[in-house]
Structure formats: C-alpha cells, structure tokens
A and B are shown apart, each in its own frame.
Chain A
Amino acid sequence: MLFDSLQFILFYIVVTILYFSIRHRGRVWLLLLASCYFYLVFKPVYILILLVTIVVDYFAGIWIANSEGKKRKWFLVLSLIANIGFLAFFKYWNFFNDNLTHLLSLFGMVNHLPDYELELPIGLSFHTFQAMSYTIEVYRRKQKPEKDFIVYSLYVMFYPQLVAGPIERPQNMLHQFHTYFKFNWENLKSGLMLMLWGLFKKVVISNRLAEMVDYCFDNPSEHPGLTLLVASVFYSFQIYCDFSGYSDIAIGAGRTMGFTLMKNFDVPYLSKSIGEFWRRWHISLSTWFKDYLYIPLGGSREGEWKLYRNLAIVFLVSGLWHGAAWTFIIWGGLHALFQIMARMRDRYLPFQVPKNDVLSVIFTFILVTLAWVFFRAKGLHNAKLILGKLLSFDFFSGYSMPYTASEFMLCWVLIAVLFLKDIFAKEIAVKNTPAFFLKFTGLAVLCYFFGVFSGEQFIYFQF
C-alpha cells in the first residue's frame, strides 16, 4: 500500500478513527491487525517471514534476559542467524552466487549452486534491522525483554514505519505501545501537516524529477553530458524528496495517534562534509550502524588506521545493505573514501586548508551527487559511462529533456522551495490561526493540482 494512494488515505482515516474509539488493549490489537493488512497488500506470502522472525526474536529476547554467560550469547546468535539468514537468502543469495559463478569460471570451474527466482520481500532490510536492534539491546541489558507478544509484534510491524523506516529502537518504541495516548488536536494538526508536506515532496517534487532521471539513466549512452549532469542533480533531490517524504508521512501518521518516531533527515544537502552528511541523512540507519557496527569494531578509539578500516567496513556494509549489487558497494565505498581522505587531509597536511561554509556545502553536494550516480545507474557499465561524460566536462554538445521549458523551470523552483522550507520553516506552527489553515489547505491544493500520481513505489521500498 503506497502512502500516496487513495487506498492508504482511506485506510489511514479508518484506522486512526478506530484507534481513538477503543480502549488501550484493543488499540494494540487494532494497530497490529492494521499493520498486517498494510503488509499483506504488497505480497501476502512474505508476512510468513515476518512471523517467523517475530517468534524467534520474541523468545530469544526472553531467553537472553533469563540466562547468563555463554547461553546469553548463543540466544543472541540464534536471533541474529534467523534475521540475517532471511536477509542473506532473499537479498544476497543470487548476487553472491553470480559472483561465485564468475569467480569459478576464471579457474575453469563450474558453480553447481542453484539460482532462485526470488522477489525481495518489501522492507526486509528495515524490519530485520529493527528486530535485530531489539535482541542486541536486550543482550546489552539496555532493554528489558518484552513479555507481551502482541506488543512485540507491533514493535516490528507498526505500519507507518514497517517498510521503509525510520528504523526504530526498542527503547523509543516499546514503552509507547504500553502508553494510552489521549486524542490531541495539536498532534493531529502537526501530524497531518507533516504528512502533507511529505506527500508534497513525493508527488510534486520527487515524481516530477523522476521523469528526467528515468529518461537519462535508462539510456545514458543516448544523452550528452549536460543532460546527464542535470539528471544527476535531479536524482539527488528526487531520492531526498522520495525518502524524506516517506519518513515525514510515517512520522506524521504516528504523531496523529500520539507516537513519536525518530527523526530521519535533517537538511542533508546543507552539510559541510560527508561526515556531517551522514549525521543528517537517513539518521536512523547511520546511528544503527554506529551503535551496532562502528563502535563494536572499536570506532575511533584504537588509532587512526583502525578508524579508517572501521569507516571502510561500515560504509561497504551500508552499501550492501542498500542493494545486492556492486554499484551499491562502490557507492558505500566512495562515501568511506571521501571521509577517510577528509580525515587524512586534516591530519597529515602541513597547512590548514582554508574553509568556506558555502563552498564546503557545494563541494559536499557535488561529491554526494557523483556517488549517487552509482546508486541509481543500471549496472557498473552505465555508471562509468555517465561519470565519464560528467567528468569530461563536455557540457556544450547538446541538451534534451522530457519536459517543456516551463516544467523544467518549475523543477528548479520546487528545489528552491524545498531549501527555503528546510532552512526557514523546519516545523510549521500549528496554532489555530487562519495562517495555519491557509497553509494546510494551500499545500493540499498544490499536492492535488501539481502532483504527479504515477503510482511508482518509493525508492527505498526496494531495500
């Protein structure tokens, strides 16, 4: 069920009204059943995977808490194997198998492992990571095990953030499912406004920019450098609006019912370095990697070279988390490389590099955009082709686009609006003033009249 569909709007209204019409225990059941329905709409059979991991993690959590010594570790390992096992099989089996086939063929050998026609269960990487954070936190004794199976199931399946995050932590979510939230107008207004703004980013900006991006990235060899440059810049904003739009709708939907989900984006394209970019982009994932991979690896505590190693591992794994393809691994690798180079510059250059905030923001944006080329391109060959054309600076050999000039201008205006909103109005005031209702109605009208309702999935659903 897509957040920008009529189906979701009606589903959301019915579930929210019902939520505020029943007592607390009923609410937990309602949200769980609604979340199951929400997931079943995508591909019903994959709910079985969720069911298995929920059961394993639920009991693993209790067993970890009730045992000591090596046993604790074994129960954690059991939980991690179940979670990573599904992820590895559905997401990475064919990728590793293909690479193994290629590798063996270099030595004249044949790979006999079978290939499976697997459709990736929607949101698998998201709910797997969320489930893993629960058992890890219980193991670390930072979270008590959840005894209520329904509440635990809801922690994994809560529909607003089930398929594309934010990837929540048990400390933030579980106690909220035990809380009875009274209906609150302020929450309703600010939640709906946030949902509307997310919808605006998705249907007005992202879906519109997607047309240029698809036009170029589907056949890069047919397009000149300038066209590809514009498409690459547009992709940076498309993916931002798509993903942060989804997060806004998720956070807003939760807020209207009283839940507080974690912030996932904080104006990432105003970052002055790649390190800062990762503190502002997909915050729930970057903090997950920080807490469960980077710090356990030693973080920055064990010397400079180990820090570089840890950064490389974290970002390569992050690339792989996004997709089972070399393009994603290179994308992650580039982000690691950029950060390592920045640290080496600061540490080893004998002079201080003069810094200018505006130039730093622009330079960071350029690096991020170049890396996105790998993220979006269909295969390594196309990525190299696009980067070759971009880096040869051949921007005067023609230009084409799937838009009229006026729509092209609108795209830039929308990008400017996006920046202005993010800089000057991070939170829209929700007092009962005519200005609020005017803004709300205006935004809804703009979504309808300028929205491109293409029925396309959100980009991050594929992960």
Chain B
Amino acid sequence: MKALRYIALLVFGFLWFLGCSRDAVVWLADNGLLEDDFRYGDLYRLSNLSAYRVPVEKCKVPYTGPKAPVALYLAGDSFTEEGRVSRDQYATDRYFRSFVADEQVPLELTEGKKILVIETVERHLRERFSEKPWMNWLVMPPAGPVAKAEPFTWTKLYDDILEYEVPYREEMHESVLFSSDPVLKIKEWKADLNYRFFGRTDPKVKVLKGELVYDLDLAPGISSVYDPVSDEEIARIVKHANATREYYRSLGFDEVYLSIIPNKSSLLIREDAAYNHLVERVENHPELQMPVISVWKAFVAENYYQKGDSHWNCAGQKIWVDAVNERLSAH
C-alpha cells in the first residue's frame, strides 16, 4: 500500500511538473517520447471530430534546380514555418525567416541581391496593413554595438513582481496525457456525440460546408470573411503595402513581394454575397505597386487544403514555393 502511494505520488508529481516546464515537454517530444499532437492537423487537434482524422502530409521535397544568386528574406506565418516548408525547398542558399507578427526583429543584410517576401494568411492581413505599413524588421548596421543589459531599478523590480506569473500551460498537460491514439479515440467519441446531437464543436472551430475551418474566420470581428471591408480600407491597405515596399527597398532590398494565402473558409464561401473578397480586392487594386505572389486563382480551381488542418497540402504548398522560386530565379 505504501509503495503504491509513493509510485502514485511520483507519477502524478511528474505529470504536474510537466505542466509547469515547457523545456521538459519539448525534450520528451524531441526524443520521440511524446506523440506530435498536431499529427492529424491543427483543426482536428481542436475538434477531435473523427471524420477529419487524416494524417498531415509531410512534404519537404528539396529544390534540385540551379540555385539563384539571390538572398530570400521571408516574413511569414504558420504556412511557411520551418516545420512545414524547409529552407532546402527554396532556390537559394541564403535564407532568413522570421514570424511576420514578431516586432522589432533585428536583421543584418547580406551582400548581393536580396528579396523580401511578406507572406500572411488572409485572416490577419487587415491587422498587419490596415493601420500602418508593415515595418517589423529593423535593419541593423553590420556588427553594431551590443546593447547593454538594462540596469537594475526598483520600478523595474516592482513591475516584474506585478507581472510575475506561475509557469503553467494546460496545453502541455493535454499534449502529455491526451494525445495518444487510444485516448484520441475517446475524445472522438465525445466530439462526435456532441456534434451529432447538439451541433456542438470546440468553440475555436466550425464545420462549414462539410469542411473544418477556424471559427475566427467566421465569427464577427476583423478576422472574419464576412466583416465588411470598405473601399477606403482597401485603399489604405494598398497604400500601406506600397509604403512597406518603399521602406524596405530604401534599406537595400531589390524587391519586396506580398503574398496573401487565402483562408480555407474563403474558398468555400467565395460565392456568398456577404463574403468581403479581401484577397482579390487587394491583389487586383490598380494602385498596388507592390508585386504579389498570388495563389488565389490556383486555389479557387482546386482544393489545396488538408482535411483536418487549416494549412495547405503538399500540392498547394508546391504551387506557392514554385512561385517564390520563380521570382528568385528571375532576379
């Protein structure tokens, strides 16, 4: 009985510790001790609806053609993150990427030709360009002075105390405890039961015309495909995109491209009268000087999204990567 008690204590104590230590969870995942809870897609991970349990395609096909003498700087979102598109898929050896929403990203420019691609999913385009030009990258002089550590002040200490949070993320416990296939089966029973009888899904996702999409795309707000966007706002987005291009060209980039990846939901409701047609209106705006890398037409022609994921499949990804490589080769 005593031994059982101590074993239980060890097991539950360790599980509790995992919820508080991201490093430990990452270490377990890196060493293959935890299953990747995104393996069936981000939308499946949230909804657990059995109909959408399809393994996410792994599609890192390296680029085999001649490399272009151009550096690619990519400010992208989850569509182009390292786990999804790797650096060897591009037609260049000189590659730098940061998350498009990160601010104040310090950047040293390399010698020679260089292009900047700003890739953003449709749902976040307005957040990034409606109010001001995108200028999140700070170009630093080569080998600039190292910033000194912030000196100690009582105000800073007070602020640190006020802002201190006990480290814990429920998400990590979810990953550790509930992402194995047998447990997912039980989660599917719950999800299917609630969807079938009550039309209830996880609040972050919706089933739209038989496809799983983010609720963020449909719920009222700036990210919604139904949120009316005035011509003035479109003109403002275009003006800010042009200003972004001018700014980064002035800093040494040879060209700056905008690439808007359509929402999965937009392609499903593009015939609806209430759809705001954001991608087409920006891309086709007569005053847009910033060149675009567009996948809209290709994505309208065919479904290039994964079943349980909000991102493109391998074929969709290839269309975009080919388009980027084409621009690289052209310089």
Contacts and interface: CB of A to CB of B under 8 A. Distances in A.
B19 interface: yes
A13 interface: yes
Contacts of B174: 6
Contacts of A172: none
Interface residues on A, range: 20 to 34
B168 to A, nearest CB: 6
Nearest to B171: A6
Nearest to B1: A183
Contacts of A20: 5
Interface in B191-221: 193-194, 197-200, 203
Interface in A438-456: 448-450, 454
A14 B5 CA distance: 10
B132 interface: no
A37 interface: yes
B203 A454 contact: yes
Given A7-B170, A40-B166, A41-B166, 20 more contacts: A5-B170, A6-B19, A6-B177, A7-B19, A10-B12, A10-B16, A14-B9, A17-B5, A17-B9, A17-B12, A21-B6, A44-B166, A45-B164, A404-B199, A404-B200, A406-B198, A407-B198, A407-B199, A449-B189, A454-B203
A448 B178 CA distance: 13
B164 A14 contact: no
A40 B310 CA distance: 36
Given A37-B166, A44-B164, A17 B8 contact: yes
B13 interface: yes
Contacts of B166: 37, 40-41, 44
A407 B168 CA distance: 34
Contact of A403 (B5, B162, B190, B198): B198
23 contacts: A5-B170, A6-B19, A6-B170, A6-B173, A6-B174, A7-B16, A7-B19, A7-B168, A10-B12, A10-B173, A14-B9, A17-B8, A21-B5, A21-B9, A44-B161, A44-B166, A45-B161, A406-B197, A407-B198, A407-B200, A448-B190, A449-B194, A450-B194
Contacts, number: 62
Nearest to A448: B190
B15 interface: yes
Nearest to A455: B170
B165 interface: yes
Interface residues of B, number: 28
Nearest to A17: B9
Contacts of B12: 10, 13-14, 17
Query: Main secondary structure on chain A at its contact with chain B?
Result: helix
A18 interface: yes
B167 to A, nearest CB: 10
B224 to A, nearest CB: 17
B173 A7 contact: yes
A410 interface: yes
Interface string B109-133: 0000000000000000000000000
Nearest to A1: B168
B19 A14 contact: no
Interface string B5-29: 1101100110110010000000000
Nearest to A38: B166
A6 B13 CA distance: 13
Interface string A1-44: 00001110011011001101100000000000000010011001
A143 B9 CA distance: 37
Contacts of A18: 9
Nearest to B19: A7
Contacts of A41: 166, 168
Interface string A396-425: 000000011011001000000000000000
Contacts of B199: 404, 407
A250 B21 CA distance: 27
Interface in B147-194: 161-162, 164-166, 168, 170, 173-174, 177, 189-190, 193-194
A7 B198 CA distance: 28
B175 to A, nearest CB: 11
A218 to B, nearest CB: 12
Contact of B16 (A11, A406, A410): A11
Contacts of B5: 17, 20-21
A6 B173 CA distance: 7
A403 B194 CA distance: 12
A404 B198 contact: yes
Nearest to B158: A45
